Structure formats: C-alpha cells, structure tokens
Amino acid sequence: MSSNNTTTPLKVSLSSITPNNIGTVRKLNSVLFPIKYSEKFYKDIQAPEVEDFCKLGVFFSVTSDTLRAEQLITKYLVYYNDIPVGTICCRQETVDGQNVLYLMTMGILAPYRSRKLGSQTLSAILTAAAAHKPKVDKIYLHVQVSNEDAKRFYESHDFKEIRVHENYYKKITPADAWVLEKAFS
C-alpha cells in the first residue's frame, strides 16, 4: 500500500432544498450551528425565488481511492457516491435601494473541512449571485466574534469586515457578531 500525504480535493455537488431533503437540512443545521432555526426559516429556504441561493451540499467522490481515503478519515461512511455534508442558505433583500444577498447559514461537517468544499460551495453561490437578474449588488453575513476560523475563511474570499453588530445573538455567547460583506462590481 502506498502512502500519500496529499489531500485529494473533492468535488462538490449542490442540490436545491426541497420537501424531500428538508429533513437532511434540519439534521445538518442541528449539528453545524449552535442555534435552533424556526419553522418559518425552513419554509422560507424552500421558496422558488431563493432556489439559486439555498442549496444542500454533497461531496462527490471521483475515484474509489478518494472514497477509501474518506472512509479512513471519517470512519462512519457507508459506501455511497453522494453524502450530504453541508448547507448554504441565503435570502434576497432590498437595502437602501440595492439588491442584496444575505448569507443566513453556511456550514460543512467537521470531517470534510479543509478540503475546499466550503470554498467550492461559496463560489457556486457567488457565481449565481454575479449572474443573477436583477443584479445583486453585494452579499453580507454575520459571524460570531468567537469564530476566528470562519472570519478568516470569508476574508480569504474577499469579504471585508464592515462593523460589529452588538448583541446580535440572543441565546448564545458571545452575543456579538462581525458583519462581513463583499460587493459585486
């Protein structure tokens, strides 16, 4: 057996959130995020007008070697080609006459982080936003001030900190959040 210390990037496949997979989204969110989302949230993310911006992410294993490597790392994979490992959900808003996208949630399960899946997922949403009609002027999000890793991730994708939203979170501490945004030219 040969040993290879390099990590093979995985390809991400995104599917729309539907009544058929909303249970999976609920389960992923319960694992990924420290807050519980409302029924309204789950209803809203299935709306047709946000279909381009609310997705269930799965990794796609391109070779049997990649699948075997993933099995060794996570130890609980069953041999499926497609395994849900994350979600991304945005909503469209109009703010000061601008068409804005608010990134409500984005998360990748811990065993799949550092494999470019988050970058591929975010890139797909940014590409959809850039091509959207009417034009999306910017995208913004909140990151809990204790989550330096998430802040660095978004900054590596050209998001800029614009302010701190004090007491943004009601049921978790710290309650403050950075507001990060990226403008589209």
Alpha carbon distance 66, 115 (integer Å): 12
How many Cβ atoms are within 10 Å of 113's Cβ, its own excluded?
15
Catalytic site includes residue 102: yes
Catalytic site includes residue 140: no
Q: Which amino acid is at 37?
A: Y
State the catalytic residue, choosing from 37, 102, 168, 169. 102
HSE at residue 47, side-chain half, CA atoms within 13 A, is: 12
Alpha carbon distance 19, 39 (integer Å): 13
State the catalytic residue, choosing from 112, 140, 142, 154. 142
Alpha carbon distance 117, 109 (integer Å): 10
Show which residues are catalytic. Answer: 102, 142
